[in-house]
Amino acid sequence: MNEAPYQVLLYYFYTTIENPEAYRDEHRALCERLELKGRIIVGNEGINGTVSGTVENCAEYMKALETDPLTAGIEFKIDPEEGHVFPKLSIKARTEIVTLGLGEEDFSPNEVTGNYLEPSEWREAMLDPNAVLLDVRNAYEAELGKFKNAIVPPVEAFRDTPQWVRENRHLFEGKKILTYCTGGIRCEKFSGFMVKEGFGDVNQLHGGIVKYGKDPATKGEDFEGQLYVFDQRIAVPVNSKNPSVIAHCIHCDEPCERYVNCANKDCNAQHFCCESCEEKSERYCCGECKEHMTARLEREAAAQAAQ
Active site residue 181: yes
Task: Compute CA distances 238 → 56, 104, 216, 253, 272, whole Å.
Answer: 26, 37, 12, 23, 19
Contacts of 152 (CB under 8 A, 6+ apart): 135, 139, 142, 146
Classify 16 as helix, strand or coil.
Answer: coil
Residues facing 43 on adjacent strands:
46
| Rounded Cα gap, residues 175 and 179, in angstroms | 12
| Rounded Cα gap, residues 90 and 28, in angstroms | 8
Say which DSSP state 103 is in.
Answer: G
- For residues 246 and 223, the answer to whether their CB atoms sit within 8 Å is no
| Rounded Cα gap, residues 220 and 145, in angstroms | 11
| Rounded Cα gap, residues 167 and 240, in angstroms | 36
Say which DSSP state 159 is in.
Answer: G
- For residues 178 and 199, the answer to whether their CB atoms sit within 8 Å is no
The single residue of 31, 58, 181, 289 carrying the catalytic annotation is: 181
- Angle at 104 (CA atoms; ends 10, 19), nearest 5 degrees: 50
- For residues 8 and 50, the answer to whether their CB atoms sit within 8 Å is yes
Taking the CB of residue 288, how many other CB atoms lie within 10 A of it?
11
Question: What are the residue numbers of the active site?
Answer: 181
